[in-house]
Amino acid sequence: MEAGFGSTPFGNARGRAARRYMLGNDRLKAAVTDYGGVLVSLEAPDRDGQLAHVVLGFDDVAGYVDNRGSFGALLGRTANRIANGRFTIDGAPYELSKNEGANTLHGGVAGFGKRFWSVKEASAVHLTLALTTADGDQGFPGEVAVEATWRLDGTDLSLLFTAETTKPTPLSLSAHPYFNLDGPAARDCLDHEVQIFADAYLPTDKQQIPTGEIRPVSETPFDLRRPQPIGARIRESDAQLLYGRGYDHYFVLHEHQAATPRPAARVRSATSGRVLEILTTQPGVQFYTGNNLDGSAPGRGGLYRQSAGFAFEPQGFPNAPNQPNFPSTVLRPGEAYRQETVYRLTCG
């Protein structure tokens, strides 16, 4: 298929023209680009019915090419970090491209968020993107074919991933939209109330690699089981908050696996009245409070500085190929990968 429903030019990336695909219903408006599968924009009403952008973004594809931070991008082959850019599967060692010091982040130098995806289907309310990466791409084994479908349904924006592989390979797909429920003019998201339905989280070392421990959230700043402002405990003297410069940690959900999306997190803005609920089939979510945004990214409404937005990245356990006590993220030939996340936007 060529240009899909409501598609428009979106500038040039890496010598190729990108397109932006518009989706909409009577509640939400969204836009996705074929470069990186990026969620460029998402507009939702406040308590007065006024639409505003609730994800951080740029008005041209160059913003996504030039800036770090994975703004809105699809993440793969593995979201998050792989220690030392290496792992072993079935006794065979693999070396990956490294793009965060000695480690591999979000799939390497040319992860899925830095690729052009082909448009397989498009309509007013859904967009299916496809990407096939070769055996050995970024050092990962096996040819992997992925489809990602963004879909609007009432107050829900869902993202469904399916995939298959020709060799055993780690696969943990996610997306990285930054949210601010008060719109582009908001300074930060620290007064948003957050709740995460997790009794445990994964502590990390100084390089933000999980140590292998699954630690209870009780009596820590990571106990977000009851609603509280994002900024309530983010400045506490806690080694984990120091390593991440705020929240940048994986929260383990009550049910490790789910056949259909179940609640993972809820965020509410008292200012706008908007409520974001995250539902997912994944075993956990990475919660990130934009700690490394440094003002070098001029987006909608001004410069994006620390805590301009927050991100929830549902995914498999980070660095799982190197942690035998974590649930495996290895996909094998003949197996079907299927994971779904729902972003539900209401008012309350």
Confidence of residue 47 (pLDDT cuts 50, 70, 90): very high
Cα angle vertex 113, ends 115, 6, to 5°?
75
Domain that holds residue 99: 7-347
CA distance readout (Å), 293 to 24, 47, 303, 306, 316 = 29, 29, 9, 5, 24
2: pLDDT strictly greater than 50: no
330 in a structural domain: yes
Q: Considering the domain boundaries, does residue 242 fall inside one? A: yes
Specify if 295 maps to a domain.
Answer: yes
How many domains are there within the chain? 1
Residue 94 lies in a domain: yes
Classify residue 73: in a domain, yes or no: yes
Record the tokens describing residue 7, joined without a space: 């598609």
Full DSSP string of 134-195: -TTGGG--S-EEEEEEEEEETTEEEEEEEEEESS-EE-B-EE---B-TT-TT-S-STTSEEE
Model confidence pLDDT, tens digit, residues 203-260: 999 999 999 999 999 999 999 999 999 999 999 999 999 999 999 999 999 877 789 9
170-213 pLDDT per residue, tens: 999 999 999 999 999 999 999 999 999 999 999 999 999 999 99
Residue 162 lies in a domain: yes
In this model, does residue 301 exceed pLDDT 90? Answer: no
DSSP 310: B
* 2, part of any domain: no
In-domain check, residue 1: no
SS3 50: coil
Active site residues: 176, 313
Q: What percent of the chain has pLDDT over 90?
A: 93
Q: How far apart are CA 295 and CA 345, in angstroms?
A: 27
pTM of the model: 0.97
Q: Which residues of 64-82 are buried (b: 16+ CB within 10 A; e: fewer)?
A: bbebebbbbbbbbbbbbbb
* CATH for 273: 2.70.98.10
